[in-house]
């Protein structure tokens, strides 16, 4: 007798929109969640004490999405408050200044076999409604949890998208004592850093989100200053101090050796007119050991070399170009996209 295969129950996915004073973008985010080729099993919008009229906009959607209003406590506090309301297997967090591709939920569902602890997808960058010939992140083929743990040590964090490109397994998040973390940090901070130590993380090439660059992004990548770069390094170091509190036995990279720190230090030195060849050599050495695609390694090596020898004014332009696609000319964006192999992904994003 032929034994009938047992069908595994389908995984369910909740979409959680995280909003704080992004009223001007909020409708786009919510509408993109509601207009999916395959619907999310649950849609929840959490407003973290906005003062810009966001709640008035959200009331239009009462009955179509779940609404959660709370006092301002920080992005991570909003994400964790929403998690207590989620009744699905997975949660996809969407920052309210981003918006979904129409096939986002459909694509997510195709990659949930094996119950990974996290899925991470790619995101297309847009600015004022214009697609910027830039798709992030660029990670290598077969990028698994072992490679991510190695990159955590080399880069300071593994290659991953911002919040909106991540889908987390709910039981994994709930098993971690995330209440110990800084509530004003983000779900793509220390919780994301912990994922490779919890099980399988899948990296997927499809684009599921448009990542909006608008000048007020939390990362402030498009507005690099020495102060912002220093804050980024401090934030990274704080996350590595936090990680052992939620994942025992994990230690961070040696101080001053992570690629993110080295890159920031190279940029600060260049903006100050200092030519630090030792910083350049340390950056290249760490970059060579990373799991980044070879083409990206070469591109970053050439960029850092130019940064090291450039006068301050040109160095500042190189820093700005590195930090955000908004700061690159159209030709530069096309060349970078072509070199990194993003053309096919961009075409898929428009399909």
Q: What percent of the chain has pLDDT over 70?
A: 85
Q: Is the dihedral of CA 225, 163, 172, 117 positive or negative?
A: negative
pLDDT at residue 207 is higher than 90: yes
Domain ranges of the chain: 13-212, 226-350
**Is the Cβ–Cβ distance between 58 and 26 less than 8 Å?**
yes
| DSSP per-residue codes, 150-175 | HHHHHHSS-S---GGGEEEEHHHHHH
Interatomic CA distance for residues 178 and 245, integer angstroms: 9
Backbone angles phi, psi at 290, to 5 degrees: -75, 170
| pLDDT band, very low/low/confident/very high, at 142 (cuts 50, 70, 90) | confident
pLDDT in tens, 302-339: 989 988 888 888 888 888 887 765 655 555 556 656 55
Q: What is the pLDDT of residue 342?
A: 53
Q: What is the pLDDT of residue 69?
A: 98
pLDDT at residue 350 is higher than 50: no
pLDDT at residue 252 is higher than 70: yes
Mean pLDDT of the chain, nearest integer: 87
Residue 131 token pair = 């697609």
DSSP state of 59: G
Superfamily of domain 13-212: Spore Coat Polysaccharide Biosynthesis Protein SpsA; Chain A (3.90.550.10)
Mean pLDDT of 241-268: 91
pLDDT at residue 219 is higher than 90: no
Nearest residue to 347 via CA among 108, 162, 124: 124
DSSP state of 45: E
pLDDT at residue 276 is higher than 60: yes
Interatomic CA distance for residues 214 and 89, integer angstroms: 32
Nearest residue to 208 via CA among 101, 95, 110: 101
pLDDT in tens, 256-272: 889 999 999 998 888 88
Helices 294-309 and 330-339: crossing angle, nearest 10°?
A: 140
Place of tokens 């297309």: 124
């Amino acid at each position: 007798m032929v034994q009938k295969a047992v069908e595994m129950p389908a995984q369910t996915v909740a979409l959680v929109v995280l909003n704080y004073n992004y009223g001007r973008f909020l409708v786009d985010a919510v509408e993109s969640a509601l207009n999916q080729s395959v619907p999310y099993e649950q849609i929840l919008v959490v407003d973290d004490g906005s003062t810009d009229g966001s709640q008035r906009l959200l009331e239009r959607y009462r009955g179509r999405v779940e609404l959660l209003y709370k006092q301002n406590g920080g992005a991570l506090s909003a994400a964790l408050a929403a998690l207590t309301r989620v009744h699905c297997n997975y949660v996809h967090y969407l920052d309210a200044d981003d918006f979904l591709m129409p096939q986002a939920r459909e694509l997510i569902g195709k990659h949930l076999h094996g119950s990974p602890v996290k899925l991470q997808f790619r995101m297309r960058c847009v600015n004022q409604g214009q697609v910027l010939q830039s798709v992030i992140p660029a990670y290598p083929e077969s990028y698994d949890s072992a490679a991510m743990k190695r990159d955590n040590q080399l880069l300071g964090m593994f290659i991953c998208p911002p919040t909106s490109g991540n889908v987390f397994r709910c039981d994994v998040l709930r098993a971690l004592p995330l209440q110990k973390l800084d509530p004003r940090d983000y779900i793509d901070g220390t919780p994301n850093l912990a994922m490779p130590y919890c099980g399988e993380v899948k990296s997927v090439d499809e684009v599921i989100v448009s990542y909006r660059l608008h000048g007020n992004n939390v990362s402030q990548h498009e507005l690099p200053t020495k102060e912002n770069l220093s804050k980024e390094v401090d934030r990274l170091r704080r996350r590595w101090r936090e990680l052992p509190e939620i994942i025992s036995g994990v230690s961070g990279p040696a101080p001053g050796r992570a690629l993110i720190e080295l890159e920031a230090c190279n940029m600060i030195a260049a903006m100050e007119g200092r030519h630090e060849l030792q910083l350049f050599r340390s950056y290249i050495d760490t970059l060579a050991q990373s799991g980044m695609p070879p083409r990206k390694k070469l591109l970053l090596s050439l960029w850092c070399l130019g940064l090291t020898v450039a006068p301050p004014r040109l160095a500042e332009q190189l820093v700005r170009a590195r930090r955000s696609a908004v700061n690159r000319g159209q030709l530069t964006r096309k060349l970078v996209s072509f070199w990194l192999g993003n053309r096919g992904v961009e075409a898929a994003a428009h399909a």
